[in-house]
Chains A and B, each alone.
Chain A
Amino acid sequence: MTVADRPAPPAAKAAAPAADAFLARARALTVDGPAWFAARRAEALARFAARGFPTLRDEDWKYTSLARLAATPWAPPDRAPPRAEVAARVQRSRLHLAGGLVLVFVDGRYAPDLSVVPPQLAGVLFGSLADALRNAPSHLEPHLARIAAGGDRPFADLSTAGFDDGVLLHATPGTCVPVPVEVLHVTTRPGTASFPRTLVVAESGSRVTVVEHHVALTDAPYVSMPVVEVAVAQHAAVEHVLWQEEADTAFHVATVAAHQARDSRFSSCVLTLGGALARTDVDVTLDGEGAEATLHGLNLVFGARHADQHTRLDHARPHGTSRQLYKSILDGTAVGVFNGKVIVRPGAQKTDAQQAQHNLLLSPGATADTKPELEIYADDVKCAHGATVGRLDDDKLFYLRSRGLPEAAARDLLLRAFARDVTDRIQIEAVRVRLDRWMTERMPALAGREDRT
């Protein structure tokens, strides 16, 4: 029996303490913003209340169980000011890019005292989304809760219904933001849920790079549900890096949604390094001729963790180009899921879409499920996809070891080699260096003995 044959799950909303907690929390929120936003928030709330959490019976969630997430009555983070150690964590996590803007959020709330605002930032409006909603919301209206809306998006709805604050980054026409903007989210409170929210508006001809980095100061479970909306106007270019180093016990359910106008470029990189359960949906609409999207990601998953990457590329106009490359290294009893949907709309001729997803299994207990989904309604298009699931090659290992590389070093080299064509695509050297260091520190566990199961 296929999933579609099954009757709709009548019990989808039953027994979900998390849903109850979120709904109660969202209902208690006072909306300090324009009427259009209050309306969107109310609609999102109603949709989630009616729908509830997805279950394994939902096609988009059939490999990823949210049962544990849904069974916990997550609390809102308290409003206590950040502790001193948060500042230290921020110092350690920052990329320290000269002249760069750093916006720090602690438990979902903007922390201006921990943020760094360089004196020279012409043409960029930035700051707290909550403040922006109170002050000058007209330029938010076309985008906020619009780009990540429509279709079945329970987590975007939850975020829209319940986010406290977020980032607004607005590059005015022609502005080139020379240094990547860092958005650093620090979770400090176990047992809590936060809704980091980001809106990037890149007006025509502007260029901006945003590194959104998620870290934690707790080892105990929490849930973070970031939603990023990116509006890329014509001839604009946006690069977004979602770099998550959540606690190994955490739940991380992220949505990155981009809307691209004519001749725009959007690039997304998702680095999934943490989280007991990590799910990321990257959802891009090429809604103008000649738009280009480059999506890549690396999942490094070990222990009993679960990482699920979904992408949805909607080629709505002609002459669009998309490139997707996602790789997962899976160890222990880790599970890696990939689902990449490419839609080519009628009339989106000369679309050139390529998708590749590769998995490296390091242990017999690790599994990978990978599935491309093409829906093509135009005839003059190039669409290619490929997926592989493999193990470390014994011939390669032997070759390296025969030259005197210890087994662990040989494995390490091969793991890095596997990841390389993704990591090479990361434009920001500081991120590459940090990722490399992360691998050095964590790879022995990946490649070696202790942390395998």
Chain B
Amino acid sequence: MLEIRGLHARVVGKEILKGVDLTVRAGEVHAIMGPNGSGKSTLAGVLAGRETFDVTAGTVTFDGKDLLPLSPEERAWAGVFLGFQYPVEIPGVTNATFLRAAINARRKQRGEAELDAVDFLKLVKQQMRLLQMDETFLHRSLNEGFSGGEKKRNEILQMALLSPRLAVLDETDSGLDIDALRVVAGGVNALRGPDRAIVLVTHYQRLLDYVKPDHVHVLSAGRIVRSGGPELAKELEAKGYGWLAGPAAKPAATKA
């Protein structure tokens, strides 16, 4: 579904990604772990089409099509979703307005009729119940004044409503208490399916106890330095990243 080959990317002239290779197949859940500043969010941003990241080499294909020339919205229409590490606050746009605009943009793109207010509310309220979100969130400005955990739930709500084919969740688990983590994990598991894939960027083993990954990768200094099964996450939890770092670390082939 997703093929990343030799991806290099810069931010304000500084090379952050230095040759990332990753293959994600339909039905799989991948976890990307790694120390702070290793480029995980950069990779996620590149996949979603963030223009501040400059791709200098490499390819990214999604369902066999070149993803890189597409605008962020075209990627969304193709089924790519990025759960932001830091969801953006937008005062003056209510959550409801935003969610409905997002759903309808997608439907319009597929040639489907737009959802009217009644159908939209039915759909969104049902999803909010599953995520144990209070309905008052609908009428508040998007993410404005939301706690960290509320923002992350709101990301999962968006994901659930848009049901993407590829969800890249950037530290959606950080800052969550255990109940919120369960709810978020439930949302992620609900998305799992043979046609979909999920990439979890995380620091912690914790989330992986609830969302079992098929593959775990370690991103360090702009490269994937190690790939393995779920046991790799446990090992990282026990030993940290230190044992992987340094010149000895070889970029591991990401046999998926």
Chain A residue contacts of B106, Cβ below 8 A: 404
Contact between chains at A401 and B71 (CB < 8 Å): yes
Which of A402, A405, A418 counts the most chain B CB atoms within 10 A?
A: A402
Cβ of B46 < 8 Å from any Cβ of A? no
Chain A residue contacts of B141, Cβ below 8 A: 417
Could you tell me the distance between the alpha carbons of A417 and B102 in the complex, rounded to whole angstroms? 16
Contact between chains at A404 and B76 (CB < 8 Å): yes
Contact between chains at A405 and B73 (CB < 8 Å): yes
Chain B residue contacts of A393, Cβ below 8 A: 88
Chain A residue contacts of B88, Cβ below 8 A: 393, 395-396, 398-399
With contacts A409-B101, A413-B97 taken as known, whether A403 is within 8 angstroms of B90 at the C-beta atoms is no
CB within 8 Å of A: which B177-226 residues: none
Cβ of B176 < 8 Å from any Cβ of A? no
Please give the distance in Å from B9's CB to the nearest CB on chain A: 15
Chain B residue contacts of A414, Cβ below 8 A: 90, 93
Could you tell me the distance between the alpha carbons of A398 and B90 in the complex, rounded to whole angstroms? 12
Could you tell me the distance between the alpha carbons of A394 and B49 in the complex, rounded to whole angstroms? 12
Chain B residue contacts of A417, Cβ below 8 A: 90-93, 141
Please give the distance in Å from A400's CB to the nearest CB on chain B: 7
Cβ of B96 < 8 Å from any Cβ of A? no
With contacts A396-B88, A421-B92 taken as known, whether A404 is within 8 angstroms of B105 at the C-beta atoms is yes
Contact between chains at B82 and A402 (CB < 8 Å): yes
Cβ of A123 < 8 Å from any Cβ of B? no
Contact between chains at A399 and B102 (CB < 8 Å): no
Interface of A with B (CB < 8 Å)? 393-396, 398-407, 409-410, 413-414, 416-421
Which of A394, A403, A404, A410 counts the most chain B CB atoms within 10 A?
A: A404
List 13 interface pairs A-B (beta carbons < 8 Å), by A numbering.
A395-B88, A396-B88, A398-B49, A398-B51, A399-B84, A400-B98, A400-B102, A404-B77, A414-B93, A416-B92, A417-B90, A417-B141, A421-B92
Chain A residue contacts of B162, Cβ below 8 A: 403-404
Chain A residue contacts of B52, Cβ below 8 A: 394
Contact between chains at A404 and B102 (CB < 8 Å): yes
Chain B residue contacts of A404, Cβ below 8 A: 73, 76-77, 102, 105-106, 109, 162
Which of the four size classes fits the interface of chain B? 20 to 34
Q: Which single member of B49, B91, B101 contacts A402 (CB below 8 Å)?
A: B49
Chain B residue contacts of A394, Cβ below 8 A: 51-52
Which of A393, A403, A419 counts the most chain B CB atoms within 10 A?
A: A403
Contact between chains at A413 and B101 (CB < 8 Å): yes
Chain A residue contacts of B81, Cβ below 8 A: 402
Please give the distance in Å from B21's CB to the nearest CB on chain A: 24
Contact between chains at A399 and B87 (CB < 8 Å): yes
Please give the distance in Å from B77's CB to the nearest CB on chain A: 6
Contact between chains at B90 and A407 (CB < 8 Å): no
List 18 other contacts, CB 8 Å, given A399-B87, A402-B75, A407-B73: A394-B52, A396-B88, A396-B90, A398-B72, A399-B84, A400-B98, A401-B49, A401-B72, A402-B48, A403-B98, A403-B158, A403-B162, A404-B76, A404-B106, A409-B101, A413-B93, A417-B90, A419-B92
Contact between chains at B76 and A401 (CB < 8 Å): yes
Residue of A nearest to B91 (CB): A417
Contact between chains at B92 and A402 (CB < 8 Å): no
Cβ of B50 < 8 Å from any Cβ of A? yes
Q: Which single member of A395, A406, A418 contacts B73 (CB below 8 Å)?
A: A406
Please give the distance in Å from B200's CB to the nearest CB on chain A: 17
Chain B residue contacts of A401, Cβ below 8 A: 49, 71-73, 76
Residue of B nearest to A406 (CB): B73
Contact between chains at A405 and B101 (CB < 8 Å): yes
Chain A residue contacts of B102, Cβ below 8 A: 400, 403-405
Residue of A nearest to B52 (CB): A394
Could you tell me the distance between the alpha carbons of A420 and B73 in the complex, rounded to whole angstroms? 25
Please give the distance in Å from A195's CB to the nearest CB on chain B: 38
Contact between chains at A398 and B101 (CB < 8 Å): no
With contacts A402-B76, A406-B105, A409-B101 taken as known, whether A418 is within 8 angstroms of B92 at the C-beta atoms is yes
Residue of A nearest to B143 (CB): A399
Chain A residue contacts of B109, Cβ below 8 A: 404
Chain A residue contacts of B77, Cβ below 8 A: 404
Please give the distance in Å from A432's CB to the nearest CB on chain B: 14
Could you tell me the distance between the alpha carbons of A404 and B105 in the complex, rounded to whole angstroms? 6
**Proximity string of chain B (143-180) to chain A, C-beta cutoff 8 Å, 1 when within and 0 when not:** 00000000000000010001000000000000000000
Smallest CB-CB A-B distances: 3 pairs: A417-B92, A404-B76, A401-B72
Please give the distance in Å from B221's CB to the nearest CB on chain A: 25
Could you tell me the distance between the alpha carbons of A340 and B109 in the complex, rounded to whole angstroms? 46
Could you tell me the distance between the alpha carbons of A414 and B109 in the complex, rounded to whole angstroms? 21
Chain B residue contacts of A407, Cβ below 8 A: 71, 73
Contact between chains at A409 and B82 (CB < 8 Å): no
**Proximity string of chain B (31-55) to chain A, C-beta cutoff 8 Å, 1 when within and 0 when not:** 0000000000000000011111000
Chain B residue contacts of A399, Cβ below 8 A: 84, 87-88, 90
Could you tell me the distance between the alpha carbons of A399 and B76 in the complex, rounded to whole angstroms? 11
Chain B residue contacts of A416, Cβ below 8 A: 92-93
Chain B residue contacts of A421, Cβ below 8 A: 92
Please give the distance in Å from B159's CB to the nearest CB on chain A: 10
Please give the distance in Å from B124's CB to the nearest CB on chain A: 14
**Proximity string of chain B (98-111) to chain A, C-beta cutoff 8 Å, 1 when within and 0 when not:** 10011001100100
Contact between chains at A409 and B93 (CB < 8 Å): no
